[in-house]
Structure 1
Amino acid sequence: MNPLDLKVDEELRTRLTSHVSRNCGDMLIVNPGKPEESALIKILKEPCGTTPRMPIECVNDGDAKCVPPDYIEALTQWIADGALE
């Protein structure tokens, strides 16, 4: 089950898969099929280059302000599966 109930249309997918995070080593925000090479996943887990871990209030795993691990896993799986609409 996907805890995010993620709704991705063509425009959002195009924006996520074509934009680059300059602060995170020019990594694509979402690199379909490659979550380990996707800035979105990196910054949800740890700082990436000059981009701090997001959301900014998240400092340590388990903090109330951090994105829950099951959400990060769902996003990771979505990207691994090709980040389809």
Structure 2
Amino acid sequence: MGVNMTQAVKGNGRPIIARDLVRNFGRTVAVDHLSFEVRAGEIYGLLGPNGAGKTTTVKMISGLLPPTQGEVEVFGFD
């Protein structure tokens, strides 16, 4: 069974939705209540200093790292 990405994007027009993402490593807060949406056709970049949570955010979006709190949908899948 395959996933038709065109249909998944057209479903809500937002390929990536992040809601209230939090990621802790022990007592260290790496990402603190981050929410955003990327609409079809948009291009975003993550900018910030070392240790700002950029890589952690990308890992949560890609499913490599579960958020401590919040949820991510990519093409309608969480």
TM range (shorter): under 0.3
Higher strand share: 2
Structure 1 length as normaliser, TM-score? 0.25
**Higher Rg:** 2
- Which one scores higher on RCO, CA 8 angstroms, separation ≥ 6? 2
Higher helix share: 1
